[in-house]
C-alpha cells in the first residue's frame, strides 16, 4: 500500500511540473507546484511558486498559510509573521488557518531559543575552565 502512495505522489509531482499542459495564469497551478516542492523539502523553490500564486490571486488566505509555513521551515521568521498577518487580514473569522503557521512558528522559535541558551551555557562553561 505504501508503494502505491509513493507512486501517486511522484506522478502528481511530475504532472504539476509540466506547465505547458496547464494554464499558466491559474494560481492553483503554482500553489500545487509549491506543495509538490514543499513535500520534497525544496523550500526555496516552494516559496517562489507560492509567491507566484499570490501574485495571481492575493485574496486566497491558504496561499499565505503555506507560504508562511515554508518560511518557518527556512527560519525566515519575519516573513512568516507577515504571512500570519495577511491570513488574519483576509480571513479574520477563520482562526484555524492562522493557527497552522502560528503553531509551527512557535515550535521553531522555541527550538531557536533553546539553541541560543545552550550556546550561551557552553560559552559560560568554557570561560570557567
pLDDT along the chain (129 residues), means of 10: 52 57 86 96 97 96 92 89 86 63 61 50 48
Distance CA 117, CA 109 (A): 12
**Res 88: pLDDT:** 82
Structural domain including 92 reads 2-128
**Res 118: pLDDT:** 47
Query: What is the pTM (predicted TM-score) of this model?
Result: 0.64
Total domains present in the chain: 1
CATH classification at residue 28: 1.25.40.10
Amino acid at each position: 500500500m505504501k508503494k502505491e502512495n509513493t507512486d501517486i505522489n511522484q506522478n502528481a509531482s511530475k504532472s504539476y511540473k509540466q506547465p505547458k499542459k496547464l494554464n499558466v495564469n491559474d494560481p492553483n497551478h503554482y500553489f500545487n507546484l509549491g506543495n509538490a516542492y514543499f513535500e520534497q523539502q525544496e523550500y526555496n523553490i516552494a516559496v517562489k511558486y507560492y509567491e507566484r500564486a499570490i501574485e495571481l490571486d492575493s485574496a486566497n488566505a491558504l496561499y499565505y498559510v503555506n507560504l508562511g509555513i515554508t518560511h518557518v521551515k527556512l527560519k525566515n521568521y519575519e516573513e512568516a509573521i507577515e504571512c500570519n498577518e495577511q491570513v488574519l487580514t483576509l480571513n479574520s473569522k477563520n482562526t484555524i488557518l492562522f493557527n497552522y503557521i502560528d503553531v509551527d512558528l512557535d515550535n521553531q522559535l522555541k527550538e531557536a531559543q533553546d539553541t541560543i541558551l545552550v550556546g550561551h551555557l557552553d560559552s559560560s562553561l568554557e570561560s570557567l575552565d
